[in-house]
Structure 1
Amino acid sequence: MKQQDYAVGATRVAADRPDGRTGGSGRGTADAVLAVRGAGPADRAPGAAAADGADGPRVPDRPAVDPAAGTAVDTAVDAAADVTLSPDPGLLRLAHWFAEVGPGRADDLCSASFGLYPARHLGAAAEPAADPGVSWWHGPTAHSATSLRAREDRTEGGLRRARRDGTELPVVRSGAKPGRPGRHRRPEPVRVVPPTVPPQERGGEELPAAERRIAARLLLAHPLVTASGPHADGFPLIRRHRDWLAERFDTLLGYRLVVGPWHARLCKAGLGPGAGRRLRHPVTGAPFTPAGYAQLALALALLVDAPEELGYRRLVDAMHTAAPDLAAEPADLAMALAALADWQVLGELPADADDSFVLTVDRELARAVPAGPPALADDADDLIRRAAEAEPATAVRRLLAETPAVLAADLPEDRRAWLHEHRLSGPAALAEFLGLEAELRAEGVALLDPAAELTDLALPGAGTLAQAALLLVERLVEEVRPLPGETVTGDVPIPDALIDGVLGDIADEYGLPARYLSDRTALRCDALDLLHRLALITPTPHPTRPPAWRLRPPAARYAPAPDLQPAPGTGRHSRPDPLIPSPAAHGSERRA
C-alpha cells in the first residue's frame, strides 16, 4: 500500500476505501477519526517512485546542507517562509481532547490515536504444569530463574547485600546460611551460544521462518521502523516478507502493516479504557502530561504538510496561532519535540534549541504517526472506545500479544467464552508467530518472552528499581498467597502495613542508592508503579485516601516454592505472627 493511500482524510476514506470491516485502529473502515491530509505527488520525497530491491530500499538523494556555510539553510528557510502552515483539522481536534482529559485518559487517548506503544510480556518461563487448570497461586514458579545475582556479579546500579557482621546476617526462609548464596543471590549463568549452521546446510524453510519471526517481533516491539533508525538492520527483513507479515498481522490481530520505501508502520489498535500505555520522554523517561500530549498532537498537525526545512520559531508561532488556548510550558513543548525526533519525524535536536534553529521535517513519517482509528469519534471517550473495538477472537489475541497476562475474570462474557473455547489453539498460534511461550493456568493465559526482547519492561531486570520490585512481589506472595483449598475469587488484598514492612526489610538487607535511602516514599511509589504496569498488582481507588493494593494471580509465578506453613517475617519491619503472644502479653499474664 502506498503511503499516500494510508494517510488520508475522512472524506477520502469514506469515498475510496469503504471495506466495511471493524476492528479498531488496526484495520481501515469506512469512517475516520483523524483527518490527516493525503500526500500528493508534489509531497513525495525525491526518489520515492524508484524501484527498490527485495533486500532493502534505495535511500533517496537529498541535497547536502552545510550548517557552517549557512547559504543552503538560509535559502531553504527563505523558500519555506512563503508556505502557509495550516493545521490538520483532525489532529488539531485531538490536541484539544488531550488538553481536556486527565492523565490516565490521556494515556488511553495516546494509545488509541497513535498506537506506538511496544508489547509487554513477562519473562523467565516456569516449569510446565502437569495440569493447565492449576492455579497460578499454587502452580510451578519461575523463582529459581529470577533470583538476584550475587554482589560481585551484579549490574551497575543494582541492589547488593548490605555490609554487616556474619553474626548479624539474617537467615532467609529458604534455609540459606550466613556466608552462602541465599535465594536472592546466584552467580551469573553461563550463556551457551548454539553453533552456527552455514546457510547452505539449513533447511529450505528454516531461514525464511526465522526471518519472519524476527521481523514480526521487531514490529510488535517497535511499530514504526525506519531504514535509517536504530532498528535499520531489521528493516530489510520486513520489506522482504512484507506480504506474509501483512497477512498474518491482519488475520491474527487485525493490525494494518504499511511498508514504504524507507519505513514500516504497524498500525496498532487501542487498548481500551484504563489500559493505555504512558508515553515517556525518550531521554529522561519522564511521563507525558496531558499538556505534553496536546503539544505533540498540535505540532504533528502542522508537520504533516510542513516544508522539509522549518525554522523552530516559525513552528512555535504557528502552533500558538493554530491553538492559542493550548499554551503550554516550555518543558511540555520540549517533550513533544523530543518524541517527534525519536520517531524521526524531526531531525536531531540540539540540547538548547534557540529561535534560529532550523528543523528538518520528514512529512512521510509525520503522516505515518497517526494510526488513525477509522471512525468519526464524537469525543475522547468515543475515540478510546472505538479504537479498541474488535470481534472477540481478535480482541483476546490482541491482549495476549500486547499485555503480560490475560485473566478470564477481566474479560466480558463473549471474550471469556472465546478464550475458554480456544484455550489451547488461540495462544499457540500467537506463540508460534511471535516466538513466545504460552503459560496456561486456571485464571488465564500469559505469553512469555524469556529472551526479554519483546517487552518494554523486564522482570527480573537490571537496576535497583527492578530488583527491589522483584523482592517486593515475591515476599508479598509469601505473606498473602491463599493456601490450597481456600476459595479465592479474583485478586488478594495486600495490607498496607505489609508493603511498608517488606520494603523496610529490603532496605535493611540491601544497600540502596542515596535517592531511595533519603526518600522511602519514592521507593514505594516507583516499585508499586512498576508492578502495576506489569499487571502483577492492581489498585482499588478510594475517594479520600491513597488506593489500596491487591495482588494478582500471575504475581505468584515469581514466588518461591509454596510454603504451606509460612514462618513470620524476621525483619524488624515485619508484622508479628498473630498466633505468638507478644512480650507485653506475657507481662500482663504474669501480672495477672
Structure 2
Amino acid sequence: MDQQDYAVGATRVAVGRPDGRAGGAGRGAAHPFLAVREAVGAAAADDPQAAAPGGVPGAAAALSPDPGLLRLAQWFAAATPGTAHDLCAASFGLYPARHFGAPAVPADPDVSWWHGPTAHAAASPRSLAARTEGGLRRARRDAAALPVVRSGAKPGRPGRHRKPEINGVLPETMGGPEAPETPAAPRVASPSAAPVAQDRSGEELPAAERRIAARLLLAHPLVTASGPHADGFPLIRRHRDWLAERFDTLLGYRLDVGPWHARLCKAGLGPGAARRLEHPATGAPFTPGGYARLALALAFLVDAPEQLGYRQLLDAMRAAAPEPAASVDPADSADSADLDMALAALAGWQVLGDLPSDADDDTFVLTVDRELARAVPVGPPALAADAADLIRLAAEAEPATAVRRLLAETPAVLAADLPEERRAWLYEHRLSGPAALAEFLGLEAELRAEGVALLDPAAELTDLALPGVGTLAQAGLLLVERLVEEVRPLPGESSEGDVPIPDALIDGVLGDIADEYGLPARYLSDRTALRRDALDFLLRLGLITPTPQPKRPPTWHLRPHAARFAPTPDLQPVPGTGRHSRREPLLPPPPSPRTELRA
C-alpha cells in the first residue's frame, strides 16, 4: 500500500460506513475517505492489565503511532497560522456553521446590499441600559452636555480621532457643523431556545425533531451521549437514516451514528476560510504548534489502551516528533501552552477523560476513548502531496454541492468569490437552492444582487453572533455600522465589489467608540489590541477582507453584505444636505483697499 495512505492496513470506503452499514460516503467528494486502521492487538489494547507487565496500567510496550497523523503533524508544524487553520478544517472538519442572527429583510433580489433595506434598528435608552454585564455600556453623560454627533465630538468640529483626508482643501472650507445625532448602539439578539413543536397532526413533531437534530450536527459535528449536547443525541439516533440521506444529498457530508456518539464528517472550506480551533477554557486560538501536538497525540490515541500513563504519552510524542518545531518539552513555556491546548481540546471532545492538574505528575493515568479518537480525523492525507494539496482536495466538489456547503456553513456567499461554474449554478438556482437549505435547517434566505445569505433569527446556528452580546460583538457592530455610513457607494457608482477603507478612518471610528462607550481596561489602555481584535472579529464573519502588501500591513476592504447592519441609506436626500453632497465653493474675499491702491 502507498506510504501516503492514512494508515497501514487502512480500508478504502467508497460507499457506506467503515463498519459496513449503509450510508453515503459523500456526494462530490474529491477522493474516498480512509478508515483509521484497526490495531492488530485490539483485544490486548482493550485489556490494559494483560498488555502491561505487572498489571500496571499504561506500562505497556512502546505505543505504535499512526503514520498518516504523524505526517499531518509535520505539515502543521511547518505551516503558517492561516494555513494551519485551513488544514485543520480540511483534516478534522470540526468547525461549526456561522450565520448572522438578524432576520432576513425582504427586497428585490436585484437590489444591492449597499442601497437596499437593512436590518439595522436604532437602539433605545432602555436597550442601552439593559446590556448584559461584560458588554459595552454607555458612558455617563451630563444631561446638560452638548448632544452627541456621529464622530463623538462636540458640534462644530470633527472628532478628535479623525484625520482629515489630504485633498488640498483647507480646513475652513470643509463645511460647518454636522447635525446632532445620537450614535446607534449595537442590537443585542434576544436569547432563543430551540423551537418546540406541538404534535397536532402527527407530522409536525418528527419534522421539528429532524430540524433540531440537523441544526445541532451542523453546529457541533461531534455529539456524544454524555457530552454537553447529550439532550439532542436521542433525536439524532431516532432520525439517523433520514439525516444521513439529507446531509449526503444536499451537502455531500457523511453521517456516522454509533451507540454513544454521532459524527458529521464535514469537508474543508478551502483556503482563507477563517475557521480555527480555540482553547476550550481561554478561547485562545490554536497555533501551528498546538495543531501539531493535537495531531501527534491523536496518532497514538487511535490505538492506545483504555488506561494510558500520562508520562508514557508525552514520552512517545517526544520520540515521534517529526521536527524540532513539533517537539514536546513541558519545560518550555511555549511548548507547554501548545501541549495544554491540544490536550484540553481532546478532553473537550471526550477523547480523554480527566487531565492532570500538575503537568509533572508522572503517576497520572489517562482514560482514552479510542472510538472517539478515530472519529476526529475525517480528511486524511492519503493522496495529498502537501498541506496545500490536502486543503484543495478536501474542498473539491461538484458546483451544486460546493455552493450549498458555503451557504450552509458561511454567513454569506458572494457571486464574485465563486469560480465560473459555481457562479453559474448560483444564478440559475438562486431561488430553489437556498430555499431547500433554509427549509432543511430552519433558516431564512436573503437574496441581493451580490449574492445570498442564510440567516438564523434565533442566533443559535453560529459560533460568532452578530448582533450579539459581549465587548467585541457590540464594538464590531458599531464599527461596521459607521464604516458603511462613511464609505457606502453613491447611487450610480459601481456597487457590486468591495469598497476600500481608509486606514485612518478605522482608527478614528474605534477611537470614537472608545470615547463614547465604557470599554474594558485592556482596550482603553491598548488601542492597538482593540483594533486587532475588532478587525479579526469582522474578518472571521466575512464583513471585511484584507489585501496583503509586501513589507506593509494589509489594507482592508468592506464587503457588500456589511451594509445590512447599517441604517437604511437615504437615496434621495434634500439637495445640499446629504453626507456626500459638496458644498458651494466659497466666494473669494473682496479686495482690500490697499490692493485697490496698488492696482
TM-score, normalising length: structure 1: 0.83
User: Which stretch shifts more, 188-197 or 280-289?
Assistant: 188-197
The residue that corresponds to 1:160 in the other structure is 137
Residue from 93, 97, 102 that aligns with 1:119? 97
Report the CA distance between 1:321 and its aligned residue. 1.2
The match for 2:246 among 245, 248, 267 is 248
Q: CA deviation at 1:439?
A: 0.4
Return the match for 1:455 from 459, 462, 472: 462
In 2, distance between residues paired with 1:216 and 1:321? 42
The residue type equivalent to 1:252 in the other structure is L
Who is 1:295 aligned against?
A: 293
SS in 1 for 2:549: coil
* Structure 2: runs of 5+ lacking an equivalent: 17-23, 156-179, 329-334
Provide, for residues 246-281 of structure 1, a one-character-per-residue CA deviation record: whole Å limited to 9, x for no partner: 000000000000000100000000001121511111
Distance 1:198 1:169, change over 3 A: same
Report whether the alignment pairs 1:338 with 2:315. Answer: no
Partner of 1:50: none
Matched, 1:323 2:301: no
**Partner residue in 2 for 1:542:** 549
The AA in structure 1 aligned to 2:86 is D
- Separation in 1, partners of 2:225, 2:327: 35
Structure 1 residues 438 and 149, CA gap change in structure 2 (3 angstroms): farther
SS of the equivalent of 2:445 reads: strand
Shift in Å, 1:40: 7.1
Which residue of the partner structure matches residue 423 of structure 2? 416
Q: Which has the higher mean CA deviation after the structures are superposed, 318-327 or 298-307?
A: 318-327
Displacement after TM superposition at 1:157 (Å): 1.0
Instruction: Give 1:170 deviation, angstroms.
Output: 3.1
Preserved contact between residue 83 and residue 307 of structure 1 (Cα < 8 Å): no
User: SS of 1:214's equivalent?
Assistant: helix
- Structure 2 residue 393 is matched with structure 1 residue 395: no
Alignment of 1:62-101 (within 5 A): 78-101=56-79
Change (3 A) 1:251 1:189: closer
Corresponding pairs, count = 542
Larger mean Cα displacement after TM superposition, 33-42 or 545-554: 33-42
The question of whether the paired residues in 2 share the 8 Å contact of 1:9 and 1:38 is answered with no
2:375 is equivalent to residue 368 of structure 1: yes
**One-letter code aligned to 1:86:** S
1:368-417: CA deviation from partner (whole Å, max 9, x where unpaired): 00013585111111111100010000000000000010000000000000
Identity of aligned residues (%): 75
Change in Cα spacing, 1:164 to 1:434, as seen in structure 2 (3 Å) is same
SS in 2 for 1:248: helix
Deviation at 1:10, TM superposition (A): 7.1
Change (3 A) 1:343 1:92: same
Q: Which of 455, 459, 477 in structure 2 is aligned with 1:470?
A: 477
SS state at 1:541 partner:
strand
Task: Find the residue that maps to 1:547 and give its secondary structure.
Answer: strand
Q: Which amino acid aligns with 1:119?
A: A
Partner of 1:355: 362
Name the CA distance, whole Å, in 1 between partners of 2:15 and 2:185: 59
Which is worse superposed, 325-334 or 233-242?
A: 325-334
Counterpart of 2:561 in structure 1 is 554
Q: 1:343 to 1:44 in 2, by over 3 A?
A: farther
| Cα separation, partners in 2 of 1:44 and 1:38, compared to 1, 3 Å | same
| Aligned-pair CA distance for 1:285 | 0.7
In the TM superposition, residue 563 of structure 1 has moved relative to its aligned partner by 3.3
Whose radius of gyration is greater, 1 or 2? 2
Counterpart CA distance in 1 for 2:211 and 2:9 is 37
Alignment of 1:578-589 (within 5 A): none
Q: Secondary structure at the match of 1:305?
A: coil
TM-score for the superposition, normalised by structure 2: 0.82
Cα displacement (A) at 1:82: 2.3
CA distance in 2, matches of 1:447, 1:479: 26
Choose from 197, 207, 232 the match for 2:205.
207
Deviation (angstroms), 1:352: 2.9
Q: Which residue pairs with 1:144 in the alignment?
A: 121
SS in structure 2 opposite 1:349? Answer: coil
Counterpart for residue 439 of structure 1 = 446
CA contact 2:10–2:34 (8 Å) conserved in 1: no
The structural deviation recorded for 1:18 is 6.7
Report how far residue 576 of structure 1 moved: 12
Counterpart selection for 1:103 from 76, 81, 92: 81
CA contact (8 A) 1:106 1:290 kept: yes
Post-superposition shift, 1:184? 2.9
Deviation at 1:193?
A: 9.9
> C-alpha displacement at 1:356, in angstroms?
2.0
Q: CA deviation at 1:330?
A: 1.0
Q: Alpha carbons of 1:246 and 1:39: their partners in 2 closer, same or farther (altered >3 Å)?
A: farther
3-state secondary structure, aligned to 1:549: strand
Q: 1:433 to 1:450 in 2, by over 3 A?
A: same
Q: CA RMSD in A?
A: 3.8
